[in-house]
Amino acid sequence: MKRKSQAESAVPRGGLAALSLAQGKRARLWRLLYASGPANGTLMVLPLDQGLEHGPTDFFPNPPAIDTAYQVRLALEGGYSAIALGVGLAEKYLREHAGEVPLILKLNGKTNIADDAEATSPAFATVEDAVRLGADAVGYTVYVGSPRQDQEIREYGKVRRECERLGMPLVVWAYPRGRDVEAKGGKGSLYAQDYAARVAEELGADVVKLHEPLPETDGCPEPYRSLREDAPARLRRVVRSAGRVLVLFSGGVKNDDDAAVLRKVTLYMECGATGVMFGRNMWLRPMDEALALTRRVRALLQRHPR
Amino acid sequence: MKRKSQAESAVPRGGLAALSLAQGKRARLWRLLYASGPANGTLMVLPLDQGLEHGPTDFFPNPPAIDTAYQVRLALEGGYSAIALGVGLAEKYLREHAGEVPLILKLNGKTNIADDAEATSPAFATVEDAVRLGADAVGYTVYVGSPRQDQEIREYGKVRRECERLGMPLVVWAYPRGRDVEAKGGKGSLYAQDYAARVAEELGADVVKLHEPLPETDGCPEPYRSLREDAPARLRRVVRSAGRVLVLFSGGVKNDDDAAVLRKVTLYMECGATGVMFGRNMWLRPMDEALALTRRVRALLQRHPR
Amino acid sequence: MKRKSQAESAVPRGGLAALSLAQGKRARLWRLLYASGPANGTLMVLPLDQGLEHGPTDFFPNPPAIDTAYQVRLALEGGYSAIALGVGLAEKYLREHAGEVPLILKLNGKTNIADDAEATSPAFATVEDAVRLGADAVGYTVYVGSPRQDQEIREYGKVRRECERLGMPLVVWAYPRGRDVEAKGGKGSLYAQDYAARVAEELGADVVKLHEPLPETDGCPEPYRSLREDAPARLRRVVRSAGRVLVLFSGGVKNDDDAAVLRKVTLYMECGATGVMFGRNMWLRPMDEALALTRRVRALLQRHPR
Amino acid sequence: MKRKSQAESAVPRGGLAALSLAQGKRARLWRLLYASGPANGTLMVLPLDQGLEHGPTDFFPNPPAIDTAYQVRLALEGGYSAIALGVGLAEKYLREHAGEVPLILKLNGKTNIADDAEATSPAFATVEDAVRLGADAVGYTVYVGSPRQDQEIREYGKVRRECERLGMPLVVWAYPRGRDVEAKGGKGSLYAQDYAARVAEELGADVVKLHEPLPETDGCPEPYRSLREDAPARLRRVVRSAGRVLVLFSGGVKNDDDAAVLRKVTLYMECGATGVMFGRNMWLRPMDEALALTRRVRALLQRHPR
Amino acid sequence: MKRKSQAESAVPRGGLAALSLAQGKRARLWRLLYASGPANGTLMVLPLDQGLEHGPTDFFPNPPAIDTAYQVRLALEGGYSAIALGVGLAEKYLREHAGEVPLILKLNGKTNIADDAEATSPAFATVEDAVRLGADAVGYTVYVGSPRQDQEIREYGKVRRECERLGMPLVVWAYPRGRDVEAKGGKGSLYAQDYAARVAEELGADVVKLHEPLPETDGCPEPYRSLREDAPARLRRVVRSAGRVLVLFSGGVKNDDDAAVLRKVTLYMECGATGVMFGRNMWLRPMDEALALTRRVRALLQRHPR
């Protein structure tokens, strides 16, 4: 794909301008927003941490995807803003393409073998690893509302400090999780996603990855329980709660209906998202279909410069 | 608002003079007491950590307040002594006004998704962050009486040491919390608030944020259980228990009756408080009403120079 | 009060000579034993950590005592060997009298809101704080026999190392505590106090604070259960178990009978104690009575040079 | 045994070339793959950590094996690629042969006295120990899926960082373990081994030790439960899931049938393994039989250059 | 007592020569083996940590033993290889005899007030303390098989590293302990002691203290359950399992029958022990009897040069 020149893309960068960033953070975030992918202030990120989070199970629908070279090729040929990988995959598969696609180094993760009642996500890499590998951001999961939130938040705080010290943008996977979240309506509820968005802002994320909130409000605390909002209203609400943090929406499980996927992207962007982080919806498709869908998502993002 | 000159405000500074302070601490605390807000030795602080502590729920009564620019504007136009924010909000919303209103950087916090039976508040920012951001104090929550008080106190101790090293005043949110507090009459009781006041002094706080003690004494240990004191007596008691620590009273949930709010302020000041830290009672009002109420609170504080 | 000259007091200093002390430790301990208080090798210490350990409850019988200036005045006018305070009180009340009465900085503590089944005492100050404040010793509580004794002992070990490094005498509050202690006869039993005395010696304390053992032996392990010893025999036993560690006995709850208090002091000294650490029995009395009793305790200690 | 010259062995080194390695890591891994043992890019490792993991029980079938000199002699005379030992054995038995056979220093381990429901493997040596002892790699167990996986992964992460800093290859014993693994089909299932292989890659291992997956799928999550694959298909699957991490298969409990052992080796190599790590199947045989079997395994590995 | 010259004692030093030791470790261990006590490669150690581990209870049968000067005198006059003390006793009682008898500084310990179901032994002194006090070794308890073995082993590992760095021999009290040990036949079983011996070797001890295994095998795992071995066979087995780690056998509870004690010593030495660590069996005897028994034990050790 052809990269946009800096001049071409640099016009409407509201999102970045509104942030108070150390110079290194700004430089790296600018690269992600205006010199990579759609390069118009939006973000199209290809994540691959499902092998750790869910196991090889996730690759069964598209066996070639077990080989990370598949996702790297997709990220490169599809012109993504960045690929998000843990240190193991980044070191083994991205080295030969270092510099060709920006890296978001995912620092922590866990398996799903034990259940999520007391979920916590340990780090196995550091912000210094990200610097060493030439990454343009780090990714970090925070399990919002987990019974072990004190450990979650404390460990997060150390990563945030390191990001500050090294000028590294911080992308927070803000995931409501744990038995108390389930008792209050579940991790997908508007209550949970809205709270997670705010937590990301309060904790000092630069970018937050969220899930589209579900319509069900059973079990949620008030005022959410009585709230009846349609999908756009729900999305706008969580984007608003994230404040000046750039919001990416997750794709979640694979949807075979391309048109539905594209409608989602349009909806997210119209509701204020900065972009999308779609994994399984991309790399579980055969390469030609994945590239075709990628091009259409890119085209949609092009229509929503930030 | 017009700032008082140092000469004008410096007369009755009993509170500060009674404290044994490192030079940096004194300098920053002097600024809060005599060069900002009422500037007469009292403190009028606007806190905003409810988005983390309670979620976006707290902003429903006044939707514009979800945007932290709202509170920043209120703090600036209302002439507050300081605004208390976590690192995420401070970095994203205060940068463009850095220096215009003093910052109390709140270092720790948690969500209320899990219950408070074993409450503990993890730090996600440091005293060095406060220095970097030009803050004039840090805020730190201590859950007094929690089953995890050992972790609470030990972590607090490290922050206190850092404050000492860097000359940073330390404002303690001294909050009784946890299953044992509930079993002994609840977090709002005079027993609990009085104990919390003393703990703040023993632990070396410079300023303590407390709640007005409730009249109920059911379940409290003696001698509190048999104690029958009116509101002023209760307030004077906790102020006395805080000793030379400056006391701020919290506003708690929003009270729509402006006159009642003002009566509270008067009562607090007459009972020896150094000031108030009212959040929801301020920023849940429409901006003009919030500014009007702020002006009246300020006027009250002006009548109680310290 | 008039201070004894070094020559006057330096005669019989068995206790100190028997200790193997780094030079700084020796210098500071010498000051406590021979240049302060009775200045004859005995110790008369005024402790004030009850506000943290028990809450303001303890001050109800003598309301002025809630103001730490009260205890500081008593320590100064009464001619105590030292006052034992946490960092919050030491910084706020002793500064204006720094040097006039030696400080034992109490480094750790907790509230009594949660029960003591798994008691542990977290530090909120450090040996370096003690050096900075000009203290002549640090105080540190060890809950002997607590289910969390591993944490207790490990944390203690770090403090001991710091004391060694900085030449700071270490006074251990050796308190049997926790559900297993209760199941074996209780914290006041001879079994428990005797064990605590030995633990203090094994762990390397310079001075230990103990309670007078109770006569009851129900529930204690053998041979204590079958032991029938009178008060002097019990006291001599725990002093012997403390070996070369100097023993201070606690006063415990207030006793209104002055004569009884004085008989206790005599008994303790005759049984080999180095002195007493009486808090509530002193500062819960009106100032003139407290000073009068102090003078009589001092006179008794004068009769037992070490 | 005669060592191959570098020229002789250096031809087909696909496995190594595909890895992105720091220079020190590459140098050491090259030595293991091309200058030791079969020296053709395969690995024949003799492990001895069973004495810690299972106790002396494991040596009963061949009593001389309790003396580590036995395994050292076997490693030397058998021409193994490396011997894997903990620090105690390495220091006491390998010193007199330092340099003669490469060492993989196993850093962590535990006894099997407590059950494995919450298994975690603590380190008692460091990567610096490995450097000091002249090791060519470190070994580290990760209990995949344990309820304490957060501790497992966090500690692993520190070791990985040290390996990076010191250029030390990292061999991960990726062992599914814990109550949740048992509830999902057991540690030997294809589900568990396949997940473990992927985890090793995601976490950044250089080499992974796995077990041959069992055919049973009862209790496994889908799609594994319904999967019906023969042994080669299962082996190829886990090798594929390990991606660019070199795979060694464990020998497990002793098999008295030499021919069966050799068929296993052939199968593993045909399915893409880089080699084998057989302990009990080797050193529980009398020395002459062990050496004879070793020679035959070596001959098989020679036929599968990498 | 008369010290043997180096020439006299240095002949048969198999045990030491077989160890791979850093220079400082070798120098200190040589001193213990060939320049102190029997000085023929055997070890006769007088331990005193029972006051911490069991409380003053242990001293009731011989009250003077509560004063550590008693054990120090016994060690000096009896010509022991070393005395093993914690930091508190070492600093207070050995200073005036520093250099006259080697010190093994015991670094960790606990009370027996809580039960041993989840036993763990916290350190309250460091290897640097041992260096500072001129010790020739450190002692460290590892509770083999405890549910908290991960903490035990991890903490042990740090001590081992420090010993390596500072050239300090490491004597491991390898004690099977905890609910799982009890469920598998108990801490005194051959299964448990044999496992403990191996653990000490795997973890890198220089010397290990074990207990003589009991004959009962009820509840033990196979093959131990079916094993019928006499006392010498059991002892030889655990000595063999300790490999090149020097084995000391504990004396355990006091045995009033001197002849029986001496038979034990003979048996231990004939079965390959390097020596004995008898505490209560020595210092619970009146001084003259203790010295007489010591002389006879010494004479026995003299007959088993190493």
**Cβ(A297)–Cβ(A259) under 8 Å?**
no
**What does the alpha-carbon distance between residue A86 and residue C190 come to, in Å, rounded to a whole number?**
59
Percentage with pLDDT > 90 across chain D: 90
Contacting residues for A292 by C-beta, under 8 A, at least 6 apart: none
| Of D67-81, D235-249, E21-35, E227-241, the least confident | E21-35
Catalytic residue among A70, A156, A175, A195: A175
pLDDT (tens digit per residue) in C168-206: 999 999 999 999 999 999 999 999 999 999 999 999 999
**Cβ(E238)–Cβ(E270) under 8 Å?**
no
How far does C161 lie from chain E, in Å, by closest CA? 7
Question: What are the backbone angles phi and psi of residue C35, rounded to the nearest 5°?
Answer: -130, 15
Q: Which residue does chain D place closest to A60, by CA atoms?
A: D223
Average pLDDT value over all residues in chain A: 93
**What does the alpha-carbon distance between residue E110 and residue C198 come to, in Å, rounded to a whole number?**
12
Which amino acid, residue E85?
A: L
pLDDT (tens digit per residue) in D79-130: 999 999 999 999 999 999 999 999 999 999 999 999 999 999 999 999 999 9
Residues forming a β-bridge with C172: C140, C208
Contacting residues for B213 by C-beta, under 8 A, at least 6 apart: B188, B189, B190, B192, B193, B194, B234, B235, B237, B238
Contacting residues for C26 by C-beta, under 8 A, at least 6 apart: C16, C19
Which amino acid, residue C263?
A: R
B184–C68 C-beta distance less than 8 A: no
Distances (CA, A) of D299 to D38, D40, D46: 8, 11, 16
State the CB neighbour count (10 A cutoff) for residue A23.
Answer: 8
Q: Which residues of C54-70 are buried (b: 16+ CB within 10 A; e: fewer)?
A: bbbbbbeebeebbbbbb
Collapsing DSSP states into helix, strand and coil, what is residue D46?
strand
Given this model, what pLDDT does residue E15 score? 55
Interface mutation vs chain B, best among C111, C116, C126, C152, most B CBs within 10 Å? C111
* Residue A4 annotated to the active site: no
Interface mutation vs chain D, best among A59, A113, A150, most D CBs within 10 Å? A113
**Cβ(D244)–Cβ(D207) under 8 Å?**
no
**What token pair was written down for E34?**
């060939």
Given this model, what pLDDT does residue B23 score? 82
**What does the alpha-carbon distance between residue D198 and residue D216 come to, in Å, rounded to a whole number?**
20
Greater pLDDT, E217 or A9: E217
pLDDT (tens digit per residue) in E160-189: 999 999 999 999 999 999 999 999 999 999
The E-side interface with D (CB below 8 A) comprises: 18-20, 144-147, 149-154, 156-157, 160-161, 164, 176, 178, 180-181, 184, 191, 194-195, 197-205, 221-224, 237, 240-241, 243-245
**What does the alpha-carbon distance between residue C194 and residue E59 come to, in Å, rounded to a whole number?**
12
Beta strands in C187-282 (DSSP E): 207-210, 246-250, 275-277
C129–B180 C-beta distance less than 8 A: no
Given this model, what pLDDT does residue E6 score? 40
Collapsing DSSP states into helix, strand and coil, what is residue E258?
helix
How far does C198 lie from chain E, in Å, by closest CA? 6
Q: Which H or E element spans position B267?
A: helix B258-270
**What does the alpha-carbon distance between residue E118 and residue E127 come to, in Å, rounded to a whole number?**
25
Which amino acid, residue B60?
A: F
Note the helical H segments in D19-86: 23-34, 50-53, 69-78
**What does the alpha-carbon distance between residue D111 and residue E221 come to, in Å, rounded to a whole number?**
14
**Cβ(D32)–Cβ(D274) under 8 Å?**
no
Distances (CA, A) of A231 to A214, A234, B222, C180: 8, 5, 55, 58
Chain B contacts of A233, Cβ < 8 Å?
none
Chain D contacts of A129, Cβ < 8 Å?
161, 164
Whether the full predicted model's pTM is greater than 0.90, yes or no, is: yes
DSSP 8-state symbol, E111: -
* Of residues D135, D125, D100, D116, the one with CA closest to residue D53: D116
CA atoms lying within 13 Å on the CB side of residue A187: 17
pLDDT band at D12 (very low <50, low <70, confident <90, very high): very low
Distances (CA, A) of E44 to A166, C218, E3, E241, E249: 57, 40, 14, 21, 10
Which amino acid, residue C104?
A: I
Give, rounded to a whole angstrom, the gap between the first and last alpha carbons of chain E: 21
Contacting residues for B305 by C-beta, under 8 A, at least 6 apart: B11, B12, B40, B41, B42
Q: Which residue does chain A place closest to B91, by CA atoms?
A: A20
Please identify which residue in the block is written with the tokens 């985890």.
D199
**What does the alpha-carbon distance between residue B243 and residue C101 come to, in Å, rounded to a whole number?**
21
How many contacts (CB atoms, under 8 Å) link D and E?
114
Q: Flag whether pLDDT at B4 surpasses 80.
A: no
Average pLDDT of the residues in D148-165: 96
Interface mutation vs chain B, best among A148, A155, A198, A237, most B CBs within 10 Å? A198
Q: Do chains D and C touch (3 or more CB pairs under 8 A)?
A: no
Q: Flag whether pLDDT at B192 surpasses 70.
A: yes
Catalytic residue among D175, D195, D224, D268: D175
Phi-psi region of D251 (alpha: psi -120 to 50; beta: other; left: phi over 0): alpha
Chain D contacts of E140, Cβ < 8 Å?
none
**What does the alpha-carbon distance between residue E31 and residue E14 come to, in Å, rounded to a whole number?**
15
**What does the alpha-carbon distance between residue C124 and residue B201 come to, in Å, rounded to a whole number?**
12
Q: Flag whether pLDDT at A162 surpasses 50.
A: yes
C198–E113 C-beta distance less than 8 A: no
**Cβ(B276)–Cβ(B249) under 8 Å?**
yes
Chain B contacts of A224, Cβ < 8 Å?
57
The ipTM (two decimal places) reads 0.92
How far does C257 lie from chain E, in Å, by closest CA? 34
Question: What are the backbone angles phi and psi of residue B137, rounded to the nearest 5°?
Answer: -170, 165
**What token pair was written down for C56?**
């303001």
E67–C240 C-beta distance less than 8 A: yes
**What does the alpha-carbon distance between residue C48 and residue D298 come to, in Å, rounded to a whole number?**
75
Interface mutation vs chain B, best among A195, A202, A217, A244, most B CBs within 10 Å? A202
**What does the alpha-carbon distance between residue A286 and residue A64 come to, in Å, rounded to a whole number?**
9
Average pLDDT of the residues in C15-43: 85
- Write out the catalytic residue numbers of C: 175, 209
Q: Do chains B and A touch (3 or more CB pairs under 8 A)?
A: yes
Of the candidates D55, D114, D125, the beta carbon closest to that of E157 is on D125
The answer to whether the bond into C223 is cis (omega within 30° of 0) is: yes
Q: Flag whether pLDDT at C111 surpasses 80.
A: yes
Q: What does chain A come to in residues?
A: 306
pLDDT band at A3 (very low <50, low <70, confident <90, very high): very low
Q: Flag whether pLDDT at D78 surpasses 50.
A: yes
| Cα B279–chain centre separation | 10
**What token pair was written down for E180?**
């799982």
Of the candidates A180, A222, A243, the beta carbon closest to that of B92 is on A243
**What does the alpha-carbon distance between residue D300 and residue D296 come to, in Å, rounded to a whole number?**
6
Q: Which H or E element spans position D208?
A: strand D207-210
**What does the alpha-carbon distance between residue E69 and residue E75 come to, in Å, rounded to a whole number?**
10
Given this model, what pLDDT does residue E19 score? 53
How far does C115 lie from chain B, in Å, by closest CA? 8
pLDDT band at A19 (very low <50, low <70, confident <90, very high): low
Q: Which H or E element spans position B144?
A: strand B137-144
How far does A117 lie from chain D, in Å, by closest CA? 11
Three-state DSSP string of chain A? CCCCCHHHHCCCCHHHHCCCCCHHHHHHHHHHHHCCCCCCCCEEEEEECHHHHCCHHHHCCCHHHHCCHHHHHHHHHHCCCEEEECHHHHHHHCHHHCCCCCEEEECECCCCCCCCCCCCCCECCCHHHHHHCCCCEEEEEEEECCCCHHHHHHHHHHHHHHHHHHCCCEEEEEEECCHHHHHCCCCCEHHHHHHHHHHHHHHCCCEEEECCCECCCCCCCCCCCCCCCCHHHHHHHHHHHCCCCEEEEECCCCCCCHHHHHHHHHHHHHCCCCEEECCHHHHCCCHHHHHHHHHHHHHHHHCCCC
Catalytic residue among D106, D184, D209, D264: D209
pLDDT (tens digit per residue) in E224-282: 999 999 999 999 999 999 999 999 999 888 999 999 999 999 999 999 999 999 999 99
Q: Which H or E element spans position D142?
A: strand D137-144
**Cβ(A272)–Cβ(A305) under 8 Å?**
no
How far does A161 lie from chain B, in Å, by closest CA? 7
Q: Which residue does chain A place closest to B125, by CA atoms?
A: A157
CA atoms lying within 13 Å on the CB side of residue D256: 2
The E-side interface with C (CB below 8 A) comprises: 49, 51-52, 55-57, 60, 66-68, 86-89, 91-93, 95-96, 109-111, 113-115, 120-126, 129, 132, 151
pLDDT (tens digit per residue) in D208-246: 999 999 999 999 999 999 999 999 999 999 999 999 999
